[in-house]
Each structure stands twice: as C-alpha cells, then as structure tokens.
Structure 1
Amino acid sequence: MHKAHDIIIDDTTLRDGEQTAGVVFSKREKTAIARMLDSIGIQEIECGIPAMGKEEQDGIKALADLGLNARLITWNRALVPEIEASIACGVQAVDISLSVSDQMIIHKLRKNREMVKEQLKVALGFAKQHNLYVSVGGEDASRADPAFLVELMEITRSMGGDRFRFCDTLGIMDPFGMYEKIAFLRKAVPEVDIEVHTHNDLGMATANAIAGVRAGARFVNTTINGLGERAGNAALEEVVMGLKHACSIETGIDTHRFREMSLFVAKASHRPLSVSKPVVGERVFAHESGLHADGVIKDPHNYEGFDPAEVGLTRSIVIGKHSGSSGLIERYRSMGISIDRIEAEALLEMARAMSCRRKRDLSNCELMGIYLENEKLPRAA
C-alpha cells in the first residue's frame, strides 16, 4: 500500500482533455486551468503538444513563465525534432510516446518491434543528454505483449528514463486485468516508476486507474470532468476521491475547489456538467426518497459516503413523488416554516400529486403555494 502523498497526479486536461473532439481552450482559459490545478496541489500538469505549431508552443511558453509549483510536462512522439520543440518551450519534462502493441506497430507504423526499440533508444538518449525528466509513453500498452513491455522498461531503466506510462488507449481493460498487468510489470522492473493512463470507453477509466495504483503504479493521469478522446479519461475528481474514500490513500490534493473547477472547465469546453456527474454533479447530494431523506436528516453518514463540503457542494432535500413526511418537514423548516407530522401528511399528498403532474421535483415557490392553499382548507371541528 502506498504511503500518504506518495501518489503523483499528472493531470492532462490541457493535453488529452483538449483532444476531446471539438474542444478548444483559449490561452486565457489554459492559464486559468493551470493555476487552479496548481493551487489545489496537483503535482504535474501535462500542458500540450509543441509539435502542433507556433500557437501551441506560445501557449506552453506562457504556462512555463507562470512559475507554478507543479511540474510541466509536454507530450511528444518519440522523435528528436519534437523533443527539441519541447526544449524550446522551456519545459524540463517530456513524455515520449511510442506505439507498443503489435496491432499498432504493424498496422499503423508499418514497423517491427526492433525498430520501436531503436526509436526509443534514440529519443530517450537525446532527451537525457538534455537533462530532461522523461516519461516513456506506451501507446496501446493494454494490448501489447507484456514481455515486450518489460524489454522497453529495461531500456528505459538502463538509459535513465524516469517512468513508464502504461496506456489503456482504447479503454478496453477491466480493473482486474489492469491490476494483474501493472503488478507484473512492477515486479519485473521495480526500478522504473509506472504511470497509468486510462480511457473511459467501457465506463471503467476511474476503476482502472485506481486498480493500477493499487497494483503499484505511482503516477496516474486524470482530466477535469473526465474530458478526453472519445469517451474521455479518468476524471480527476473521481480518482482523487476514490483513492481517499475507497482506498484510504491520500493524494495531498485540496478537493474543496473541485465543483468550481468542474464548472469552469464545463463552460470552457462547452461540455455541460451532468447533474448526476459522480462527485461534482449538482444533484449527487440531493435526497428525495422518504427513507433516504429521513436517514440523512438524522445523520448524513447514513446515506452520504463523504461530506459534500469536501468537494464544494451542499446537500439538498428534494420534494417529489417519492418524498416522505420527514423530508417535507425539513424542507419547510429550511424555508422558515414549521409544520408538525400531521400537517406534513396532508401537505405531502398534495406535493406528491403536483410532482407527478409536472414530472419533476417542486420548487420553494410551489411548496409555499401548497402550504398557503392547505391553510385555506376547512378544518374539522
């Protein structure tokens, strides 16, 4: 098990997040996102792809000039000219990516394994000659021959590479398989740190990232809101809170700005945040069901795994079709109205009926209307 603060979050919102189809961050937005990530204690920010051209390079240089505490790392193919472009941007760390599965080596690169190994040696040698911190990125590692990955990791170790990035590029892994593969690699080449980069095509990016950490990976890639190619990457907020509350692994990240950050990135990316988005959705701490609302009112720990304030949210009691009297009493109390259990039963029938007619929960205004209408009803002598 990892010790507290031993896990390094490498957030790639500004690289893989911006590779989401149709997403473009302005220079100002990139600066704001980088500052937010830095302010909460993110240790490393993957900040772009210098080989894309002058505009991208100018943006990376601007980030390098901010003087952030977080280490900035750029993404590059394992090619000397691309590494040179990164050096010109003023960064001290690079990810050099190679396709490592036979599928991609043969059918995309039209190469063989020996050529990939030689490419790694040339690129890694050049990077280390320039005193760069180097992550060797294994594209499509989840479909690669584990023995070949060990060969690449041995080259990484022997030439002074700093870590190996295991990429589930297609998002096809499950947490059990991820655990087994990372544990195998960790044992085979213990001197080289492992990073996990997971995609969400099957809805398992967060689970796979956490499984990788549990198996011995020290670095984990994330993006705010899970932005990224196709179905996205492992979400920063989910990974950090999952490690903390499901695994008792502290990352040292200040989580209180998660909601604020998620809203900012949702707006900048034009990707609206679902109200039920895990951890940061507006309604993940909303309780309607009578049983649940009653339990939360008595003690939030009954139905909440963590305090909503941890991520910048607040809980709410929702009145709708499934509400109970305890929830209604609490909701009216929050409006400054005190009702007893008998009054609540009468009002609840009216509230449920209105909710069914309108196919949604009720607003304070509507609840006030129900309360005033009930006041007009004749009372038994």
Structure 2
Amino acid sequence: MQHFISPYNKKAKIKFPKEITIYDTTLRDGEQTPGVCLGKNEKLEIAIELDKLKIHQIEAGFPIVSKREQESVKAITSQGLNAQILSLARTKKEDIDAALDCDVDGIITFMGASDIHLKHKMKVSRDEALAISMNAVEYAKEHDLFVAFSAEDATRTDLDFLKTIYKQAESYGVDRVHIADTVGAISPQGMDYLVRELRKDITTGIAMHCHNDFGMALSNSIAGLIAGGNAVSTTVNGIGERAGNTSLEELVMALTIVYGVDLGFNLENIQNLSKVVEKHVKIPISDNKSIVGKNIFRHESGIHVDAVIEEPLTYEPFLPELIGQKRHLVLGKHSGASAVKAKLKQYDFTLNDLELKEIVKEVKTVRENGKYITDEVFLDIVDKILNYTNYN
C-alpha cells in the first residue's frame, strides 16, 4: 500500500470530467515572478523535465517580449517533446506572428474583461474589446493554431459580458476559454457557481487560471473541475506573480491521491522537477511546502517516529518514494529511544539500554542548547557517551 486517504472522500461522490488537461505556465507566468529571468538553456531544461512528468501542455513563454525569448521558445518547440507547446500572445497580429515564427502548436491570447481593466488598463469599451479579441482569435485559427482565449480578471467581470465574450470566441472556433482569477479574488464556492453558469452556454473547453493571493488557487482549480471545467493552469512550486499560481505538484497529487483521478503523470519525477525549477529561478522551496518541501517526510516527535518506524502511513498520507522523495528521521528535543535506535542502526552501533538512555538525554540537551543534530554532531554525541560509560 503506497497511500492511505480518508474513506470519507469517496462518500462525497464527486464527479470529475472524463478528460482533464493540465497546462503548465512555469516558463511564462512563473517567469513573471519578480526577480526571475530564465535563459534559453534553463527554460529548455525545465521544459524537458515537464515532459518527463508527461505534462499535457507547456506554455513556453511570451515570444513578443524579446528576441531571446523567441529563441528560447523555438528551442523548446524544436525538441520534439510529447507535450503540446503553447505561447502567450496579446490580441495583436504581431504577437501571433511572433508565436507562429516559433513554430508553437498553439497560443493563449488574452483581453482584460472586467470594467476596472477595460477602463484603467485597456482603455477600450466592451464592444471594442470584443471586436479586438475576435479578430485575434480569427487570425490565429486561420493559421491552424490551437487557440485558447483568456478573459483577464474574469472572476471580477460582469457575468453577462463574460458569457458574451466566451460565446463569441466559441463561435470563432476557439479551442478553450480561460477563467483568469487574476488577483485570486474568487472563492471555491464562487468558482463553482461561475463555471456552472458558463456551462449553460459554453460547450468548448473551460480552463481555470488561478492566482494564490488568498491561498485558494488549488481549491479554486479543483472546484472549477468539479463544476464542469476541464483544464487547469499550473506552475512548478506554485511560483508566479505576487503569491503565485496553482502549484503543479499539489494539483497532481491532490487529484491522484485524494480524489483518485489518475492522469497518467510520471509521479517519480515530481521532486526532481521541483529541484530543477528551484535551482533556475533561485527561489528556495519552503521547508513546509506541500508535497516537495523538506519537512513533508521528516519526523522528529518521539511518538510519531515510533509509529512511522512500525508503519509509515500512520503519519504520511503516501510513501515518499512515490514522488522521488525520501523519509528522514530527525533528532532533536522531541526524539525518543526509537529514533535514536534507528539512527544508530544506520551506523551499525549496538548499545545497551544505559548507553541508549544517555545518548537520548544528550541529544535533547544539545538541541535545546541551540545546536542542530547533524550526523556529525550525533556521532560526536555517541563517541562522548561511549567513552564516558566505558571509562566509568
């Protein structure tokens, strides 16, 4: 048994779409994280790792930004990856042409749709926004591209106008419409309502592009799928503008383990992918980050360690090897004899009960004095106790 999840999940009788597409935007929205700038080789390595995971679509970049960005996107499209390669494009002919020059499979084109965006960012009327958007969709479809149309700030957009713009896009042959929760302002219940309302009029694919300003990007994405959406935008490690986007590893593992929705991903590559992205974007993964954080499979509390040694699933929802992680027993002030025994076993030490008791006591004392119990520190403690007991 590799995992053990609450039996009440199945009682909820949740229904997901038969087909779900995960498109990753680490190389585009992820790179828009303040301070992040990825070179061609870095983007290429991340794209290859995403492909090893068997991601469905990769949003490789925003070609119109610069010549180097175009070179990076083209380097990815020339790799012959299994994933579909998309790029971002404004609703402008020159953006779409730049994408075409990079030989992408498709584009995501976008238009601010909320009144606040139309007035203060786009500076156009609703009718003008509608016309501009459809011209872009039409032009892209004429060039045989996969086309996704994203209504920016959709979750703060008037519902009637949102339906109008999506229905128009559908009539122009768009392959998918995107709900951009641009400032993470919707709730899971709100997303459920919105997607169900859109499904009354929209038959094409509906994707959720969620930001994590209130820590609800993952919940909103899953709520959208349950309500009838069938695609989700993600980033590795949840990076992205401000608080980031829906975390790829969290979504994949939540669907696979918690909800029992297997999308065929190569789960063993999750940890390595996370580390590659961490290395290139230079944003350290928090120790307590879900799924890929250092602490997810680290145990210190004596009560926990006793149980984990007997049966790991007592304090782990799934085994670390499933995603390329490893379990670590950490020694500290909460450690008991079982943890110390396990550590001693790694070094082939066999001690009597008195020696074991003294080592446990010394481990607690050293940690409470502010020193971390590394392997080197632990071995020093063992030497100290053994020398003392043998001498006495």
Instruction: Output aligned runs, 1:216-295, within 5 Å.
Output: 216-295=228-307
Aligned to 1:314: 326
Instruction: Output aligned runs, 1:53-132, within 5 Å.
Output: 53-132=66-145
Deviation at 1:110, TM superposition (A): 1.8
Cα distance change, pair 36–109 in 1 and its aligned pair in 2 (3 A): same
Deviation at 1:322, TM superposition (A): 1.1
RMSD value, Cα: 1.9
* Counterpart AA for 1:80: K
2:52 aligned to 39, 42, 48, which one? 39
Question: Residues 175-211 of structure 1, C-alpha deviation per residue, up to 9 Å, x if partnerless?
Answer: 222222223222332x111111111122222222222
The question of whether the paired residues in 2 share the 8 Å contact of 1:136 and 1:156 is answered with yes
The question of whether the paired residues in 2 share the 8 Å contact of 1:335 and 1:364 is answered with no
Aligned to 2:367: 355
How much identity, in percent, do the aligned residues show?
36
1:367 aligned to 378, 383, 387, which one? 378
* Counterpart AA for 1:91: V
TM (norm. structure 2) is 0.91
In structure 2, distance between residues paired with 1:341 and 1:41? 51
SS in structure 2 of the partner of residue 15 of structure 1: coil
* Counterpart AA for 1:135: A
* Counterpart AA for 1:365: E
The question of whether the paired residues in 2 share the 8 Å contact of 1:320 and 1:351 is answered with yes
Cα distance change, pair 163–346 in 1 and its aligned pair in 2 (3 A): same
In structure 2, distance between residues paired with 1:159 and 1:123? 10
Aligned to 1:158: 171
How many residues are paired up?
378
Aligned to 2:16: 2
Question: Residues 272-319 of structure 1, C-alpha deviation per residue, up to 9 Å, x if partnerless?
Answer: 222222111222100001111111111011010111111111101111
SS in structure 2 of the partner of residue 221 of structure 1: strand
In structure 2, distance between residues paired with 1:187 and 1:319? 56
The question of whether the paired residues in 2 share the 8 Å contact of 1:139 and 1:166 is answered with yes
Give yes or no for the alignment of 1:326 onto 2:338: yes
* Counterpart AA for 2:79: L
SS in structure 1 of the partner of residue 174 of structure 2: coil
Question: Residues 306-354 of structure 1, C-alpha deviation per residue, up to 9 Å, x if partnerless?
Answer: 1111111110111101112222222222222234655433321221111
1:25 aligned to 33, 38, 46, which one? 38
In structure 2, distance between residues paired with 1:233 and 1:15? 11
Aligned to 1:204: 216
Instruction: Output aligned runs, 1:295-306, within 5 Å.
Output: 295-306=307-318
Cα distance change, pair 359–185 in 1 and its aligned pair in 2 (3 A): farther
Name stretches of at least 5 consecutive residues in structure 1 with no aligned partner: none
In structure 2, distance between residues paired with 1:10 and 1:352? 47
Give yes or no for the alignment of 1:142 onto 2:155: yes
1:193 aligned to 177, 202, 205, which one? 205
SS in structure 2 of the partner of residue 24 of structure 1: coil
The question of whether the paired residues in 2 share the 8 Å contact of 1:164 and 1:192 is answered with yes
In structure 2, distance between residues paired with 1:363 and 1:186? 55
In structure 2, distance between residues paired with 1:375 and 1:242? 47
Deviation at 1:378, TM superposition (A): 5.1
In structure 2, distance between residues paired with 1:212 and 1:175? 8
Name stretches of at least 5 consecutive residues in structure 2 with no aligned partner: 1-14
* Counterpart AA for 2:21: I
The question of whether the paired residues in 1 share the 8 Å contact of 2:270 and 2:323 is answered with yes
Question: Residues 89-117 of structure 1, C-alpha deviation per residue, up to 9 Å, x if partnerless?
Answer: 21131111011111111222122211111
SS in structure 1 of the partner of residue 107 of structure 2: strand
* Counterpart AA for 1:9: I
SS in structure 2 of the partner of residue 13 of structure 1: coil
Deviation at 1:243, TM superposition (A): 1.2
The question of whether the paired residues in 1 share the 8 Å contact of 2:17 and 2:225 is answered with no
The question of whether the paired residues in 2 share the 8 Å contact of 1:329 and 1:340 is answered with no
